[in-house]
């Protein structure tokens, strides 16, 4: 089992949205829909305010409830990894996965009616490349790699820096990490 992780540095992210554009280009995501998005969150109390930019997407959970919820197995793990994919031809559009997802990371395609999501660009990962959003990031605040490999950039960053994940309390074991 290979665990891929994305590590995003909220200190160097400028919220430009290039990751969103890159994803739309790479994956031909139709107009009006996005597989990733940028959240602008405000922390602290006036006047000591701090803005945090977060590029968000599917967290490719180790225990993905969208995969267990799916009645047809259309939601599945890619090979022996934590990358969650939807096999469009098996998806009935029942939306049980959308109800299960803590990250709002899934979208219904119109008018086709199946569910779509971030794939961690597994077609690029297969060729040894980073996901399109990571490759595009102008401030290099996004990193991608194998978590089980101690020498990978993601393992090193998580060893050295403080970080958080989103909604770990759901028990989903998310794999998009935000450096603080």
Partner 1 sequence: MSDSRSGLFGFVLNGLGHMFRGGLLYWAWLALLLVLIVLGGWHYYLQLRDGLLVTNMSNQVSWGFYISNFTFLVGVAAAAVMLVVPAYIFNRKDIKDVVLMGDTMAIGAVAMAILFVVVDLGRPDRFWHLIPFIGRFNFPESMLAWDVIVLNGYLLLNFGISFYIVYNHYQGKEPNASRYFPWVLLAIFWAISIHTVTAFLYSANSARPYWHNALLAPRFIASAFASGPALMAIGLQIIRRVSDYPIRQSVIDHLALVAAIALQVTLFFVLAELFTDFYNEGEHAASARYLFFGLDGHTALTPWIWTAVLLLAVALLILMIHPLRTHPVYMNIAFVLTVVGVWIEKGMGLVIPAFVPTPIGEIYEYAPSATEIMVSLGIWAIGLLLFTLLAKAALPVQCSFLREKAHREVTHDDA
CB-nearer residue toward partner 1: 100 or 125 = 100
Minimum distance, C-beta of residue 33 to partner 1, in the bound complex (Å): 8
CB-nearer residue toward partner 1: 45 or 89 = 89
Minimum distance, C-beta of residue 135 to partner 1, in the bound complex (Å): 25
Answer positive or negative: Cα dihedral of 79, 85, 91, 96. positive
DSSP state of 81: B
Minimum distance, C-beta of residue 119 to partner 1, in the bound complex (Å): 17
First and final C-alpha spacing in the chain: 28
Q: Do residues 135 and 22 touch, judged by C-beta distance below 8 A?
A: yes
Minimum distance, C-beta of residue 7 to partner 1, in the bound complex (Å): 19
CB-nearer residue toward partner 1: 65 or 136 = 65
* Two tokens, residue 90: 């098996």
Minimum distance, C-beta of residue 107 to partner 1, in the bound complex (Å): 5
CB-nearer residue toward partner 1: 72 or 139 = 72
* Two tokens, residue 62: 């180790």
Residues of the shown chain interacting with partner 1 in the complex, contacts defined by CB under 8 A: 33, 39, 56, 65, 67-74, 89-96, 98-104, 106-115, 166-167, 169-172
Dist. CA 111–CA 54, nearest whole Å: 30
Q: In what order do the strands lie in the sheet with 176-179?
A: 142-146, 4-9, 176-179, 163-164
Answer positive or negative: Cα dihedral of 148, 140, 175, 105. negative
CB-nearer residue toward partner 1: 91 or 154 = 91
């Amino acid at each position: 089992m290979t665990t891929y992780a994305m590590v995003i540095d909220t200190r160097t992210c400028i919220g430009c949205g290039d990751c969103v554009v890159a994803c739309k280009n790479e994956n031909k995501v139709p107009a009006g829909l996005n597989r990733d998005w940028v959240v602008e969150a405000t922390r602290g109390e006036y006047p000591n305010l701090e803005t945090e930019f977060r590029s968000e997407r599917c967290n490719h959970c180790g225990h993905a409830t969208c995969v267990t919820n799916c009645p047809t197995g259309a939601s599945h793990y890619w090979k022996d990894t934590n990358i969650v994919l939807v096999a469009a031809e098996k998806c009935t559009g029942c939306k049980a996965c959308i109800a299960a997802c803590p990250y709002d990371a899934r979208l219904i395609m119109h008018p086709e009616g199946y569910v779509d999501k971030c794939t961690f660009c597994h077609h690029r990962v297969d060729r040894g490349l980073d996901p399109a959003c990571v490759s595009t990031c102008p401030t290099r605040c996004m990193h991608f790699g194998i978590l089980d490999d101690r020498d990978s950039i993601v393992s090193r960053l998580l060893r050295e820096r403080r970080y958080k994940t989103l909604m770990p309390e759901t028990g989903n074991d998310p794999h998009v990490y935000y450096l603080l």
